[in-house]
Amino acid sequence: MFTIETGSGFWNPIIWGISIAISFLLIYILRSFGKKDYKKDTEQIKSFLSGNPEFEKEKMQVKSSNLYWGFTSSLKGLYTILRKMHTGNASDYVLWFVVVLAIFLLIEVI
């Protein structure tokens, strides 16, 4: 094998292969220092919720309408306009992208 020299460095596959092997060896050594008392099918796999019991999935989820209530209520006028424009058709979004890109290009030329 030979070394390929470029303007910004070099490429030698043997050196890179050895470097990657040493990196994986160091990662494996660091991983071996982990806790040995982990058991896969016990309560250790559950999420820690600050000591609170875990409910069913439907009760645990926070709906985005509740989470962003203040944000959406303050921008209600904008959201009503955007909901009217939202069709769900991908070709409409491509059209909007092309129109906005054309506007930017016209601004750049002028």
Query: Span 32-61, mean pLDDT?
Result: 77
Confidence of residue 2 (pLDDT cuts 50, 70, 90): low
In a domain, 101, yes or no: yes
Number of domains in the chain: 2
Residue with tokens 């129109």: 99
The pTM assigned to this predicted structure is: 0.35
In a domain, 47, yes or no: no
Q: What pLDDT, on a 0 to 100 scale, did the predictor assign at position 109?
A: 86
Q: Any idea what DSSP says for residue 25? A: H
In a domain, 92, yes or no: yes
- For residues 30 and 23, the answer to whether their CB atoms sit within 8 Å is no
Q: What pLDDT, on a 0 to 100 scale, did the predictor assign at position 102?
A: 96
Please name the residues in contact with 47: beta carbons below 8 A apart, sequence gap of 6 or more. Answer: 54
pLDDT reading at 61 higher than 90? no
Q: How many CB atoms lie within 10 A of CB 20?
A: 10
In a domain, 94, yes or no: yes
Residue 21's identity, in one-letter code, is A
Distance of CA 102 to the CA centre of its chain: 30
Query: Span 42-69, mean pLDDT?
Result: 74
Instruction: Report residue 77 as tokens.
Output: 């006028």
- CA distances 4 to 11, 18, 36, 104, Å, are 5, 17, 45, 42
Q: Look over the chain and give the mean of its residue pLDDT values, rounded to a whole number.
A: 83
In a domain, 40, yes or no: no
The Cα–Cα gap between 33 and 45 comes to 20
In a domain, 63, yes or no: no
In a domain, 83, yes or no: yes
Confidence of residue 34 (pLDDT cuts 50, 70, 90): confident
In a domain, 74, yes or no: yes
Confidence of residue 21 (pLDDT cuts 50, 70, 90): very high
Higher pLDDT, 71 or 19: 19
Task: Domain of residue 26: give its range.
Answer: 1-34
